[in-house]
Amino acid sequence: MTDLNQAKIVLLGDANSGKTSIVQRYINKSYNDHSSPTIGSTYLTKIVDFDKKSIKLCIWDTAGQERYYSLAQNYAREAQVCVLVYDITSKDSFYNLDRWYNSIKDYLAENAIIAIVGNKHDLINKEAVPIEEVKNFAQIIGALYMRTSAKSGIGIEDMFIEICREFTGNP
């Protein structure tokens, strides 16, 4: 397997936005309403077949250290994919994405894929930030924009498919 088929993916964003739940839903097909903030970082891998190629996804979840933006730089180093997660019911979690992005953007691999993910889509009736504003921010930083619910599972598989598609450069 060549390097090209291995993707380092980092998930960043405020505590409680659902990063760990997204990874758990994707890798273990499970969800826990009382997901506890893990201390340290979590590193998980999954091999997916995409467009007749195998891609090894190396997923870094920055558990429990969200207050330390500077630590994110270590996770982000040479990542090909950066997923910025916010909670659609929390304004702050969205506005902090700018800070997350600016903390790590110089550390990512060249031409890294950035994805903004609005999680907790099952709570759409409590959405806190107008979608136009989110899309506008995504456009400014050249990011994909997606929505997920780790709770219902909606959008989770699609999110990783979209990332693989971008990663392999296949439309």
Are 89 and 26 in contact, with CB atoms under 8 Å apart?
Answer: no
Contact letters for ligand GDP, residues 130-149 (x by CB under 6 A): -------------------x
Judged by CB under 6 A, how many residues of this single chain contact ligand GDP?
Answer: 19
Report 93-122 residues binding ligand GDP (CB under 6 A). 119-120, 122
**CB-wise, 34 or 67, nearer to ligand GDP?**
34
What is the dihedral angle through the alpha carbons of 100, 39, 92, 139, rounded to the nearest 10 degrees?
A: 30
Give me the phi and psi of 150, to 5 degrees please: -65, -25
- 63 binds Mg ion per the rule CB under 5 A: yes
Instruction: Please tell me the distance from the alpha carbon of residue 51 to that of residue 72, in angstroms, as a whole number.
Output: 31
> Which pairs from 97-102 meet CB under 8 Å and 24+ separation?
97/13, 97/137, 98/137, 99/69, 100/12, 100/13, 100/69, 100/72, 101/141
Binding to ligand GDP by CB under 6 A, coded x per residue (else -) over 28-57, reads ----xxxx-x--------------------
Shorter beta-carbon distance to Mg ion: residue 40 or 142: 40
Binding residues among 71-130 for Mg ion as defined by CB under 5 A: none
Note the residues at the interface with ligand GDP (CB under 6 A).
Answer: 15-21, 32-35, 37, 119-120, 122-123, 149-151
